[in-house]
Structure formats: C-alpha cells, structure tokens
C-alpha cells in the first residue's frame, strides 16, 4: 500500500471528497500542466501562476497530511482526515469555479463551508446523541475559525 492510503480509505470519508483527494494524490487532476499535454494553456485561476501543477496547488497540504494523522486519538485522526480531504476538495472546487466564471469565494468563506460540511457529516454518524455531541464538541474545539 502507498503511504497515503489511510488518508483516503476510512469509513467516515465523504465519497466525492475522497475521489478528488485520490485524483490529487495520483496527480490526475486536470491542472494547467496536464492540460498543456492536450495543447491547452491556462494559468492558475487562484493566483495567476503560469505553471499550475498539483504540487503548486497542494504540495504543502499533501506533505502535512501524510504525516499529521499519526499518533492522534481515533476521533482526532478522523477529524484530521475529514478536514484534509475537505480542504483538497474545496480548493479544487473553487479553482474550477473560477475557471468557469463562478463567483469567487474568500478563503474565510471556504473555511466556513468546510466547517459546516464536516459538522453535517459528524451529525450523520451514528444514532447515539452523546457520541454525536462528543464529536461535534471536539470538532468545534479543533476547528475554531479565527
């Protein structure tokens, strides 16, 4: 197995986010560098960098993700992995939105979207109200938006 498999394959993952993260890890997203192979040129719609690559978009995040989920409690590990996948997904979604003339979202707005989406996911896990409360409390502790 590859080093990053645990960041992808866990039961609580959100499927669409897992898929985009899997594509990012495999360097299969349609970034500017991949599109150049097809004869198209496009700069990064997020920052204008002429050589848009997967590493340009995600390198620091991927390096962080592959070592950050170790030695955490099971709950913190799950929260970390959910946040990691959601961040990759929403950066990609924002990037594509800008390519297709969608309204721009601020980084703070994206952070709120990610926070809400993970909160909703945690609400959907299990029927035990005490467990759901514990998950949500911990998520709100670790994901406090400043």
2 conformational bin, left if phi > 0, alpha if psi -120 to 50, beta if neither: beta
Q: What is the pLDDT along the chain (146 residues), one digit of tens a residue?
A: 567 788 888 999 999 999 999 998 888 887 766 666 777 667 666 666 777 676 766 665 555 555 555 667 889 989 999 999 999 999 989 988 988 888 889 989 999 999 999 999 999 998 799 999 999 999 999 887 54
**Please, what sign has the CA dihedral across residues 136, 92, 108, 55?**
positive
Return the number of other C-beta atoms located less than 10 Å from residue 89's C-beta. 20
Q: Is the whole-model pTM more than 0.75? A: yes
Q: Report the C-alpha gap between 139 and 19 in whole angstroms.
A: 23
81 CA to centre of own chain: 9
């Amino acid at each position: 197995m590859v080093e990053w498999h645990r960041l992808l394959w866990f039961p609580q993952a959100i499927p669409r986010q897992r898929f985009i993260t899997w594509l990012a890890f495999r360097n299969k997203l349609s970034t500017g560098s991949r599109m150049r192979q097809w004869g198209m040129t496009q700069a990064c719609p997020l920052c204008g960098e002429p050589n848009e690559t997967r590493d340009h978009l995600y390198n620091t995040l991927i390096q962080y993700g592959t070592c950050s989920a170790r030695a955490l409690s099971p709950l913190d590990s799950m929260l970390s992995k959910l946040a990691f996948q959601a961040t990759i997904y929403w950066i990609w979604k924002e990037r594509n939105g800008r390519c297709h003339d969608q309204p721009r979202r601020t980084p703070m707005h994206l952070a709120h979207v990610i926070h809400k989406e993970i909160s909703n996911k945690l609400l959907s896990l299990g029927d035990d109200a005490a467990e759901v409360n514990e998950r949500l409390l911990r998520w709100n502790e670790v994901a406090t938006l400043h």
